[in-house]
Amino acid sequence: MYIKKKCVAMLLAGGQGSRLYALTKNVAKPAVPYGGKYRLIDFPLSNCTNSGIDTVGVLTQYQPLVLNEYIGNGQPWDLDKLHGGVHILPPYESKAGASWYEGTANAIYQNMRFIERYDPEYVIVLGGDHIYKMDYSKMVDYHIENNADCTIAVIDVPKEEASRFGIMICDESNRVTDFVEKPKVPKSTLASMGIYVFSWDKLKKYLIENENDANEKRAKGEPWSKDFGKDIITSMLGDNQRLFAYEFEGYWKDVGTLDSLWEANMDLLSPSVPLDLYDPSWKIYSRNSNMPPQYIGNNANIENSMISEGSSIDGQVDFSIIFSGVTIEEGAKVNYSILMPGAVIKSGAVVEYAIVGEDSVIESGAKVGKSPEQVANRDDWGIAVVGHNVTVSEGKSVEPKEIIDENI
């Protein structure tokens, strides 16, 4: 027996995140650590809980082990429900055969039976790798008020950055009149956030049509795709369906690159950034590591940093995000860096403008990264990255922009 739901959320969490390189070598992008105690997927899951959406399908594909283990039964997000809750939805084999998800639209298409179990009026489609706080219930209400077939969350971006996004062109009532993917000359600065509310009957129709059309093209050797932006949104616009833009004005960060991941963490240390992790009315939930309290030694010198539970600090830390279980020995220096869970920085090591992955060890005298002032040509500077479970040996260096995923 399944209880009818007003709205079901489908969370696309199967992305490889190839532009995060060593940090997603063995981990799905939504499982990448962020902000001292979170993983990226905590944000959409917490938004669902805070918005009153209690039925969530999480579509996994690439390296799902850590992500599946982390989500578990959904208890940290109050999504361990008898009727609804969180469900992991990997690709599966049916009588028609087995198939990986062939695009964002196909991923939802393959899980239509899951959605139909709850007979929802609306389906909200989310990405699993953006950092933001949004009340989805207000977006659903906006969708209903406009008698919309599809509502797309948008954010106003600087004109010089607009060509990186899918851009919406709207009339005075915010009805979408055109959509252009990564235009060279943008006609608008309203960028799609990859968050959609659909009336389920319409979405179902267009998913089936797209699937059939793409399969026919593939059989003929013609170009095909099964994507929300390229196919579903474009087809609905072509059929003059009612598409509306829902403008979001809060903090939103797409952490698709190493630089953006580093910047998003550094943002948490800036008083001018409007992402409040301490707001009791809109908590971001996560799976607790159940570690002892942090330990700050007599020789520690810490300024403007976040230090999580289970960490032992005896060295110098400035403007950095320190995750749980991190050890920074006496005489070690960490500046403008992100140390993920279990990282160890030995005495005499220096880590600057860097990301150090989970359970990695920076041995005594090793150097990871440099400040911009230490690089003669500014174009040669960038964040240094050490992947997960990597050891940087005594006296070795990881230069700016260098990414290592094996011991050196």
Rounded CA-CA distance 358/58 in Å is 24
Tokens at residue 76, please? 């940290």
**Which stretch of 13-22, 220-229, 265-274, 301-310 has the lowest confidence by average pLDDT?**
13-22
Identity of the highest mean pLDDT range in 49-63, 160-174, 254-268, 298-312? 298-312
The predicted model gives 54-73 an average pLDDT of 87
Torsions phi, psi of 78, nearest 5?
A: 60, 40
pLDDT at res. 210: 92
**Mean pLDDT over all residues of the chain?**
91
Q: What is the pLDDT of residues 43-59, one digit of tens each?
A: 999 999 999 999 999 99
Residue 377 has pLDDT above 70, yes or no: yes
Q: Do 72 and 26 contact (CB within 8 A), yes or no?
A: no
User: How would you label 69-92 residue by residue, b for 16+ Cβ within 10 Å and e otherwise?
Assistant: ebbeebebbbbeeeebbbbbbebe
The DSSP 8-state label assigned to residue 47 in this structure reads H
pLDDT at res. 94: 59
pLDDT tier at 161 (50, 70, 90 boundaries)? confident
Residue 356 has pLDDT above 90, yes or no: yes
pLDDT tier at 311 (50, 70, 90 boundaries)? very high
Q: What percentage of the chain exceeds 70 in pLDDT?
A: 97
Report the first-to-last Cα separation within the chain, whole angstroms.
56
CA 36, 39, 40, 44 torsion: positive or negative? negative
pLDDT at res. 60: 86
Count CB-CB contacts under 10 A for residue 161. Answer: 11
**Which stretch of 303-307, 329-333, 379-383 has the lowest confidence by average pLDDT?**
379-383
pLDDT at res. 256: 79
pLDDT tier at 27 (50, 70, 90 boundaries)? confident
pLDDT at res. 374: 87
pLDDT at res. 15: 65
The predicted model gives 130-140 an average pLDDT of 96
Q: What is the pLDDT of residues 113-122, one digit of tens each?
A: 999 999 999 9
pLDDT at res. 57: 94
Rounded CA-CA distance 256/19 in Å is 6
Residue 17 has pLDDT above 60, yes or no: no
Count CB-CB contacts under 10 A for residue 113. Answer: 8
What is the chain's length? 408
Residue 97 has pLDDT above 60, yes or no: no
Which element (helix H / strand E) includes 219?
Answer: helix 200-219
What does pTM read for this prediction?
0.91
Which element (helix H / strand E) includes 261?
Answer: helix 258-267
Residue 2 has pLDDT above 80, yes or no: no
Residue 224 has pLDDT above 70, yes or no: yes
Q: What is the pLDDT of residues 263-289, one digit of tens each?
A: 999 999 988 888 889 889 999 999 988
**Which stretch of 54-58, 96-100, 350-354 has the lowest confidence by average pLDDT?**
96-100
Residue 98 has pLDDT above 60, yes or no: no
pLDDT tier at 300 (50, 70, 90 boundaries)? very high
The predicted model gives 215-241 an average pLDDT of 90
The predicted model gives 9-16 an average pLDDT of 83
Residue 234 has pLDDT above 80, yes or no: yes
pLDDT at res. 67: 85
The predicted model gives 236-249 an average pLDDT of 94
Residue 93 has pLDDT above 80, yes or no: no
